[in-house]
Structure 1
Amino acid sequence: MTLLRKKEVSPVELLDSVLQRLEETEDRVHAYTVVTKESAYTAAEQAEREIARGESKGPLHGIPLALKDLLYTTGVPTEAGSRVLAGFIPPYDSTVTTRLKESGAILIGKTVTQEFAYGMNIPSTRNPWDLERWPGGSSAGSAVAVAVDSAMGAIGTDTGGSIRVPSSLNGVVGLKPTFGRVSKHGVIPMSTTMDHCGPITKTVEDAALLMNVIAGYDPHDTTSLNVPVPDFTDGLDRGIAGLRLGVERNHFFYSEVLPAVRRAVESALSVLESQGATLVDVEIPYLEYAPHAGLTLIMVDTSSYHQAWLRERPEEYDPRTRFMLEVGEFILATDYLRALQVRKLFKGAMKEVFDTHRLDALVTPTIPITTVPVNEMSVTIIDMEDDGETILPALVHHCTPFNLSGQPALTLPCGFDDNRLPIGLQIVGRPFDEPTVLRIGYTYESATSWHREAPPI
């Protein structure tokens, strides 16, 4: 981005480089569903002329970006990874798509998502750190594209961890903003009360730059909140001396956390402490119920959205997705209401913990594990044999609570396991305090070099 501003490289040359990288990697990682090469070059040439005339639209002007295949894009298929929407071309752009286009960003294609973002099926996308391993979901393509430099940034969605999980597993940065901060208008939903839309990038600063464009009130989204939008890059380099960071150890460091993850996160906490932050041990009431309540809301909301399609053409769903949609219809209304009650109690508890301990943020492992071989994958929510935790519950255990509370949550790289597979650090803030979350992440990033590591592909 700096090179563009200094006119040391043109938007067309930058696009050439990104598309070359895409060509080198795509047949191995399968990050994209469609690449819009022709329209990307048209936009890059226009950006080049505008920048040459001194008509810069901002830091994203001329930057190649990718969109998860849930965001509406005029003239470009939006299929949500499903045969149900095969060939669907939206009649309008999502609000995020529109804002990126208006910023001068170059949209180069749509990235792979698990079917309707449910996380049940296993697409062909692979993890660039080990091509035999899972890239996470459901925003797998967006995270992989950023990791291999076939996009300079991407947009994902997060209902129970779908920005943070693949970002962590692929060694990149992902931000789930505060609920209502970024419009979901024109984004195919799972759960309207749990869905979030946000950036996936190589660095914290890049995430802040994307937030400067995509954040803001949208009257077309009934969940959008009309609150002031700050400059998310302002104060990134102020440091964290004097900040108070909560550490909860019963839930986020439970027995299923791998030793390598535990070591990496403990080391990251030491780095943050060395930068002047104070670590505060905390307990969070109702936290153990939050993942279950969140999944209850997600399952019912998603089944409700798909009810008509499920009856009209059930054979077009992946069997695993269809099974979960059917299960969602058997959840009782009383269970749904209890989940809403848990949400209210948990949101209140989080506020009280932050207020009582005067916390600026909470710091946790993003997820308790590193990625696993694809042939060992189990994405079943329900453990039929009760013989231990399956993969998906392990992933949502750390992430879903903050979809339930709606708080901003950032993941960034903090190390590797013995197989050189990435580990993520999660930073959770007060509602609408993304600037502090990003500042903490930027400070950690500046004190370490994990974000500079590249996958061997």
Structure 2
Amino acid sequence: MVEMIVLLRSKELTAVQITQAYLDRIDKFNGPFEVYGDNGGYNAFARIDREEALAQAAAADAWLKRENYSLNVPPLCGIPFGIKDSVAIQGRESKNGTHAYDGNVASKDATIVARLREQGAVLIGHTVASAFSGSISGTFSGNAWNKKYIPGGSSQGSGVAPIARLAAATIGEETGGSIMMPAAINGASGIKPSLGLNPVSGVMPLSPGYDVVGPIARSVRDAALIQSVIQGPDQVNDPISLSAPIPAPQMPIEARNGKKPLTGVRIGVPQTDWMSGSAIGTPPANSYDADYLAAFNRFKAELVKLGAEVIDFPGLDVTKIENDPYFSAGASTVLATIDGSNISPATAVLSPNRYEIGYWDAVKQFAATVPTSQANTLRSNFGDYDAATARAGKIPEAVRMEGERRRKQLQANFQKALDDYGVDFMLVLPLGAKAGPRTGGTQLRNYRRYYQLPNALTWPMVSFPIGMDSTSEPLPINAAFWGPRFTEAQIVQAAIDYQANYPEWNHMAPPDPAPVVSTMSLRRLSVQASGETGADVPPELSADPLIAEEAFK
């Protein structure tokens, strides 16, 4: 993307040429639109607006020409984007991965989409999401490197599109793992920001107080440039964004000079960040497949060569309730019982948040306007709207405050775990083994057991590729940095420094698959039995923190 910015200003390319090239690849490789299932292609885009995209590209070219191709034009002018299916683009449908939301047309842009539009970015269309943004594995899209493998969720298409070269970059949304997983599984570079750094106004919510939006691209430098544009408070529509530093921390967009740019940085590998493929109590690296372990050890050595100190340290053992009274160990804690339902600490926080934004009422009102088949699917996912609303509204303020206190205690405990060892930020592998096939096998054989923790903590992460597995059908291997809230600049800078010195991994691109025979639109399909609805997702793979609690229980 940074190269495109230079080529646009040197008149070697036009925005129309770039956009047309992506549209041609979408025609060739995406497959039919409006399919929440296997469409034979990458299925990264659920729908596009070809005419509007080309019109936006022409307007970008006119802007560049009017300013004589100078740097006075915003950096993202003319750059084509995909936007997750849960994020509003004015005048277009957002469906959050299900035909149950057919007809859900946005009355205005989400705040971050408006910020991209102000830059002169080209909005190609919506990228495919897991049904109701509910799964971190995903089966609707095909992996950018091999369509037979899962793409990661819930921002499935947003993880696939930049690597399959169907868009320059994308916007994803995460409640629990939904940016980090598709970035990792497709070998993309993605940023999951701190809660509040990017406004979520205009995003179909899952868990307000957890939900964040962030960029996915082919390099951390590209993602950081996008992040620098979309961050900052929305004082009218998103009160959570007012908790972010004002002004927002300046995002680095270039590597530091010298052979040891990471000098003075202490990176910790938490030994209690356990994996799903091993017993609790086993350090994570002990569970990695041989090729993942080799890539991990090589990556650590490369960080040391760049000047960093990399240490193993305990981290925070969240199986102990004294360490984590909020989420994982706190999942079995009952703060109250409302209408026969036990209220855990996380429920005490998130259910009132949902109540206050009219979470169930909004769906109920929409369901009253659509055909019965759609309404039934919505009801099967959300349950009894009135009962859920009433139960959330009955949670006492004291119980809610106790949940918030426990969440803050978890944050303080984790910060102390870093401070005790002088750790600036942490290094983990999102996966310890190759992702599985879309059908006929285990989708995620070994992944971070506590992938929800960064969202409970409100802490940022950045994921980026560090290698490829050694199988006959190789997929990328990604690492991730994560640290305390609003340390994006530090973890992003370290990732940019790494990619500048070891560029082979983010410069890789998969070979093109066979073209798809037809990309005719399949709009207005009936709600299909896709095999992935919100109710079908195993709790341990859910992006919803309240459902994921079941796995911990």
TM class, shorter-chain normalised? 0.7 to 0.9
The counterpart of 1:277, out of the listed 296, 308, 312, is: 308
Task: Give 1:122 shift.
Answer: 5.0
Deviates more, 1:13-22 or 1:94-103: 13-22
Structure 2 Cα separation of the partners of residues 144 and 302 of structure 1: 32
Question: Secondary structure at the residue paired with 1:29?
Answer: coil
Deviates more, 1:206-215 or 1:427-436: 427-436
Task: Give 1:399 shift.
Answer: 2.6
Structure 2 Cα separation of the partners of residues 203 and 285 of structure 1: 30
Do the aligned partners of residues 53 and 85 (structure 1) sit closer, same or farther apart at CA in structure 2, a change above 3 Å counting? same
Matched residue, 2:435: 371
Q: Is this contact kept in 1: 2:137–2:153, CA < 8 A?
A: no
* Number of residue equivalences: 445
Matched residue, 2:534: none
Matched, 1:455 2:468: no
Task: Give 1:167 shift.
Answer: 0.6
- Deviation per CA, 1:345-377: give whole Å up to 9, x if none: 321122212333332211111233331111146
The counterpart of 1:50, out of the listed 47, 58, 63, is: 63
Matched residue, 2:26: 22
Task: Give 1:90 shift.
Answer: 1.1
Task: Give 1:253 shift.
Answer: 5.9
Return the letter of the residue paired with 1:275.
L
Task: Give 1:9 shift.
Answer: 0.9
Question: Secondary structure at the residue paired with 2:194?
Answer: coil
Matched residue, 1:415: 467
Matched residue, 1:316: 374
Matched residue, 2:220: 204
Return the letter of the residue paired with 1:19.
L
The counterpart of 2:288, out of the listed 255, 258, 269, is: 258
Structure 1 Cα separation of the partners of residues 238 and 288 of structure 2: 40
Q: Aligned-pair RMSD on alpha carbons?
A: 3.2
Question: Secondary structure at the residue paired with 2:439?
Answer: helix
Q: Aligned ranges for residues 5-154 of structure 1 at < 5 Å?
A: 5-27=9-31, 28-54=41-67, 56-119=72-135, 123-154=139-170
Q: Is this contact kept in 1: 2:270–2:315, CA < 8 A?
A: yes
Deviates more, 1:92-101 or 1:121-130: 121-130
Deviates more, 1:245-254 or 1:188-197: 245-254
**TM-score relative to the length of structure 2:** 0.73
Q: Is this contact kept in 1: 2:88–2:203, CA < 8 A?
A: yes
Structure 1, unmatched stretches of 5+, are: 380-390
Deviates more, 1:394-403 or 1:363-372: 394-403
Do the aligned partners of residues 74 and 351 (structure 1) sit closer, same or farther apart at CA in structure 2, a change above 3 Å counting? same
Question: Secondary structure at the residue paired with 2:124?
Answer: strand
Matched, 1:433 2:487: yes
Structure 2 Cα separation of the partners of residues 292 and 23 of structure 1: 48
Q: Is this contact kept in 2: 1:68–1:111, CA < 8 A?
A: yes
Matched residue, 1:233: 252
Q: Is this contact kept in 2: 1:361–1:429, CA < 8 A?
A: yes
Task: Give 1:255 shift.
Answer: 5.0
Structure with more helix by fraction = 1
Q: Is this contact kept in 2: 1:165–1:395, CA < 8 A?
A: no
- Deviation per CA, 1:40-91: give whole Å up to 9, x if none: 1111111111111226432211100110011111111111122332111111
Q: Is this contact kept in 2: 1:181–1:215, CA < 8 A?
A: yes
Matched residue, 1:385: none
* Percent of aligned pairs sharing the same letter: 26
Return the letter of the residue paired with 1:232.
M
Task: Give 1:344 shift.
Answer: 2.4
Do the aligned partners of residues 6 and 94 (structure 1) sit closer, same or farther apart at CA in structure 2, a change above 3 Å counting? same
Task: Give 1:252 shift.
Answer: 4.1
Q: Is this contact kept in 1: 2:144–2:160, CA < 8 A?
A: yes
Matched residue, 1:404: 456
Do the aligned partners of residues 301 and 366 (structure 1) sit closer, same or farther apart at CA in structure 2, a change above 3 Å counting? farther
Do the aligned partners of residues 165 and 143 (structure 1) sit closer, same or farther apart at CA in structure 2, a change above 3 Å counting? same
- The structure number with the bigger radius of gyration is 2
Structure 2 Cα separation of the partners of residues 403 and 452 of structure 1: 29
Task: Give 1:13 shift.
Answer: 1.1
Matched, 1:184 2:237: no
- Deviation per CA, 1:259-312: give whole Å up to 9, x if none: 133332222111111110011322223434555769955985798666454796
Do the aligned partners of residues 114 and 318 (structure 1) sit closer, same or farther apart at CA in structure 2, a change above 3 Å counting? farther
Task: Give 1:181 shift.
Answer: 0.2
Do the aligned partners of residues 347 and 121 (structure 1) sit closer, same or farther apart at CA in structure 2, a change above 3 Å counting? closer
Matched residue, 1:384: none
The counterpart of 1:166, out of the listed 174, 178, 182, is: 182
Task: Give 1:22 shift.
Answer: 1.6
Return the letter of the residue paired with 1:440.
A
Q: Is this contact kept in 2: 1:82–1:316, CA < 8 A?
A: no
Task: Give 1:230 shift.
Answer: 3.4
Do the aligned partners of residues 121 and 134 (structure 1) sit closer, same or farther apart at CA in structure 2, a change above 3 Å counting? closer
Question: Secondary structure at the residue paired with 1:156?
Answer: strand
Question: Secondary structure at the residue paired with 1:272?
Answer: helix
